[in-house]
Structure 1
């Protein structure tokens, strides 16, 4: 039997086991329909019950992540109460194998293949609702970025340089960008998604219908989410400039530069360690975006 078929069957069995425990724990009667293929770190499955209700099962095989999934439930409820367009969580828990899971409402929509100026404006509108919407003050993304760029900075730079010539060029450009802005203090108090990429945004009927994969949410500055969005591969040049300008308006160009340097360096190491070919090919785009931020700094 081909290795891929064996792996697929193992995925189905694992998801069925998680769902069976979730159904028992929460009194639901969902059945697996099919797996969504976008995720690379955890499973996401379309569910149906006998009444035709659709939902989505997400679970993680990383046992250390189970606590954060359960912790995130309170933050999800808080931001939804404020009108934030993320699907409701219907059930959340940890199964007997230590795998965290959550079942959420299904919302229609598709992630954009490309971010043009129209998508960029809709995304900016969503990101600006992050202002002051702090779901978890004790989980601070601003502190995480600051630690990465101070105590762990040399290690991060070395790991990125070791990925190859493009990685070394990215390191050189990031060092120039950081030097151009000097010390930066990142604000806190906003909602931070933590992985605000086009693949985690659903569009339907010319609006954002859902912001998903939000388990890592916390406090910090929405500048980090702007920086993460700017690391996406396919954004038109005009949309890049829109996102840069909006991100700089939040806390100044230094904050965006600081966050983007961390995002770019961390992402370059991540994709190489996991041999994610599309991500590795995207490292040159990360370098291009650093150059764009440098040019904006120089007024070019």
Structure 2
């Protein structure tokens, strides 16, 4: 979609938002480089800023609406994700949500201090359990026990780096055998540095949370470990913290799911930076393998 068409689509969605909710938000600009949906800065009639998120995938609309209740639940528990001001599905079948704008910016690089903040945040996921019917632990278990070959084949078909990663991941799965994944925690589902806002030495916001559910917070640790710009000290800190959740096998299993799925995703969308990061994923998988009994 061209930039002009992208803006036109966002304006159309916002027109429906304003009509459905009696609001008067004004579109300012897109301020992310999201692949699956855009984030657009809005100006309200009271001068306060907000953010419009909408998805061009009609199949995702139901999840956006479903997530609203879970977002309210975790916010009531003190979790720092912005308030959702409006949520719904437009006449074209596209899901949307408007959230409050909060101060802060995503870290360009996660070092020791950022890792400490993120571990502190991830530990607040413990027992939060926002949506037991959307269980990320069950999803990972099904992928790794019932359908792992399909994801492995797709990842291996992406090229040499993909095949090398699949090889290390296969060793990682074999090293631990069947693993029972705990549940009952909040799982963000895409817990990456780009979805975390920091301000004045604290986490000011957690965004892009539409996929949230229940499961084990080890999945979010594994997702964070797949990020590109982590210092070696940050990798050790996050890996150690993930292991403390339920032993080394749980984050290892979660990392295999995250890494293989990410490999397929970046190739499908031709994301060159992500494709270049596949060697880093293999290195992180090898690190987890080194901790196997």
What whole-Å deviation, never above 9, does each CA across 1:170-229 have from its counterpart, x for those lacking one? 111111111111110101100000000000000011110000000000010000000000
TM-score normalised according to structure 2 size:
0.98
**2:17 counterpart residue number:** 22
CA contact (8 A) 1:48 1:55 kept: yes
Return the match for 2:194 from 199, 204, 208.
Answer: 199
Residue 81 in structure 1 maps to residue 76 in structure 2? yes
Partner of 1:146: 141
Task: Answer yes or no: is 1:178 the counterpart of 2:173.
Answer: yes
After superposing on structure 2, the runs of 4+ consecutive aligned residues of structure 1 that deviate more than 2 Å are none
Q: Which runs of 5+ in 1 are unaligned?
A: 1-5
- For 1:247 and 1:120, how far apart are their aligned partners in 2? 12
How big is the shift at 1:24?
1.1
Which residue of structure 1 aligns with residue 257 of structure 2? Answer: 262
The size of the alignment, in residue pairs, is 293
Cα separation, 1, equivalents of 2:79 and 2:42: 23
Match of 1:100 among 64, 70, 95: 95
- TM-score w.r.t. the length of structure 1 is 0.96
Residue 7 of structure 1 and its aligned partner are, at CA, apart by 1.1
Q: Does 1:137 align with 2:121?
A: no
Cα-Cα RMSD = 1.0
* Cross-structure match for 2:28: 33
Equivalents in 1 of 2:288, 2:44: separation in Å? 49
Q: 2:229 and 2:286 mapped to 1: Cα distance?
A: 16
Correspondence for 1:187 among 182, 189, 195? 182
Shift of 1:296: 2.5
Q: Deviations over 1:221-279 (max 9, x none)?
A: 00000000000001000110100000000011000110001111111111112211111
Structure 2: distance between partners of 1:200 and 1:152:
29
**Aligned match of 1:250 in 245, 251, 262?**
245
Equivalent of 1:70 in 65, 69, 79: 65
Following the alignment from structure 2 to structure 1, what is the Cα–Cα distance between the partners of residues 66 and 130?
A: 11
**Contact between 1:38 and 1:199, CA under 8 Å: does it hold in 2?**
no
Query: What is the CA deviation profile of residues 27-84 of structure 1, one whole-angstrom value per residue up to 9, with x for unaligned ones?
Result: 1111001101231110110000232110000000100100000000000000000000
Aligned to 1:3: none
For structure 2, which runs of at least 5 residues remain unmatched after alignment? none
1:116 — aligned with what?
Answer: 111
Match of 1:58 in 2: 53
2: CA distance, partners of 1:196 / 1:50: 32
Q: How far does residue 297 in structure 1 lie from its aligned partner after superposition?
A: 2.5
Distance 1:105 1:11 in 2: 22
